[in-house]
Amino acid sequence: GADLATGLPVNVGEAVGIIAAQSIGEPGTQLTMRTFHTGGVAGADITQGLPRVEELFEARRPKNMAIISELDGVVSISDVKRTRAITVTNPDTGEAATYQSPYGVRILVNEGDHVERGQPLTEGHLNPVDITRISGLDAVYDYIIREIQRVYRSQSIAINDKHIEIIARQMTRKVKIEDPGDTYLLLGSLVDINEFEEENEAIQKRIDAGERTLRLAVASPALQGITKASLLTESFLSAASFQETTKVLTEAAIKGKVDHLRGLKENVIIGKLIPAGTGMERYRNVEIERGEPYEQGQNPFVNAAAEMRKVNLPVYDAQRDSSGLMMHNDFDDDNLMDIEFDDMYDDGDDGDVSNDDDVSDFD
């Protein structure tokens, strides 16, 4: 993507996570902490402002949660005691799912309507965990971005989608193992998606080599709040510096964890150069020989002066005199008044530092 400050492609080693957090957190001080009341006698309190942003990023179960259809099918509505039953039936497979909706909650569909998988049936906020389970990661990304933007835009605050996308990506970096197959993964455990793919790649290589009886692992996407995701990071030093320090360090000691110091926080803690910008491994071993002359195209100062001359900007041209002081020669732009400093300095002992009558003497 492009760096929003310069419009150029973002540099390798840019701390985009920190930029994303600051871009969302700083405007958060302008959000009103209030609840919005919907009209009507049976209105529901809809959380807005900063609490709504926190609710989304922590992937919490919202109040007044909407019911989501888990099937493609046709709707039928019936009254059952104090509730209304919404049944969705798939005409092709005959599969049906029934949902109970209490009186007072507005139903968004009518009898005989055709609904799709993941479509809300009642009014209210959607549960991001349900969206992940029913519709997948792309749908939950779209929902989080849309809802976060809705909160900020209500206060006329503009945030680029890419910052929200970076945080949402960290919320979905784990998967839940549904079937370990012939890998070393454990059933029901949460593992990083990269670790899951590496284990399956190793099994796939053995299958390609002729071991046809081996099975790949199967996993489902898991959505975590940013607090939980931070505590389950690979680095125990980073997690310990965030929350629950004693618990994190005790668990790390029991499990014999090793911190490979790949992130920013853990390197700050131990005083090492952070792996960002020129501190990245790919830049650390770059050596520049002393005394090696710059070529014309490599000298940034020469290039900058050339660019200024192209647009007729004044270029300050200076040189050092025998005493090492910078002496001004002239400006290249004739439209500006030339300033001469040649007679400014005096080697006399009378304390006069200037021979110009327009400049005051300093004793």
What pLDDT, in 10s, does the model give residues 69-90? 888 888 888 887 778 888 888 8
Assign a CATH topology to domain 67-123. Answer: OB fold (Dihydrolipoamide Acetyltransferase, E2P) (2.40.50)
Mean pLDDT within 295-299: 48
Q: Strand ranges (DSSP E) for the chain?
A: 35-37, 45-47, 73-80, 83-89, 96-102, 114-115, 174-179, 190-192, 218-222, 316-320, 326-331
Please give the share of the chain, as a percent, with pLDDT higher than 70. 74
The mean predicted confidence, pLDDT, of the chain is: 77
Mean pLDDT within 264-287: 82
What pLDDT, in 10s, does the model give residues 22-51? 888 888 887 765 445 444 444 444 567 888
pLDDT at 216: 92
Contact in structure between 177 and 215 (CB atoms under 8 Å): no
The residues spanned by each domain of the chain are 16-65+126-171, 67-123, 172-270, 297-363
What pLDDT, in 10s, does the model give residues 313-359? 444 444 444 444 444 444 444 444 444 444 444 444 444 444 444 44
Mean pLDDT within 252-256: 93
Q: Is the pLDDT of residue 143 over 60?
A: yes
Assign a CATH topology to domain 16-65+126-171. Answer: PTS-regulatory domain, PRD (1.10.1790)
Q: Is the pLDDT of residue 239 over 80?
A: yes
CB-side exposure of 292: number of CA atoms within 13 Å?
A: 7
**Residue in the structure block whose two tokens are 């049976």:** 42
Cβ neighbours for 28, distance < 8 A, ≥ 6 positions apart: 50, 53
Residue 81 DSSP symbol: T
- Euclidean distance between the first and final Cα of the chain, in Å? 59
> What is the per-residue DSSP string for 194-258?
HHHHHHHHHHHHHHHTT-TT----EEEEE---HHHHHHTSS-HHHHHTTS-HHHHHHHHHHHT--
**Residue in the structure block whose two tokens are 């990023």:** 57
Q: CA 138, CA 104: separation in Å to the nearest integer?
A: 32
CA angle at residue 159 from 155 to 163, to 5 degrees? Answer: 140
Crossing angle of the two packed helices 137-153 and 49-57, in degrees rounded to 10:
160
**Residue in the structure block whose two tokens are 């080693």:** 13
The pTM of this model reads 0.68
CB-side exposure of 184: number of CA atoms within 13 Å?
A: 5
Least confident of 154-168, 199-213, 272-286: 272-286
pLDDT at 310: 54
Mean pLDDT within 10-25: 85
Q: Cα torsion at 293, 294, 295, 300 (round to 10°)? A: -170
CA 100 from chain centre, in angstroms, equals 37
Mean pLDDT within 14-22: 86
pLDDT at 32: 62
Top pLDDT among 199 and 282 is at: 199
pLDDT class of 105 with cuts at 50, 70, 90: confident
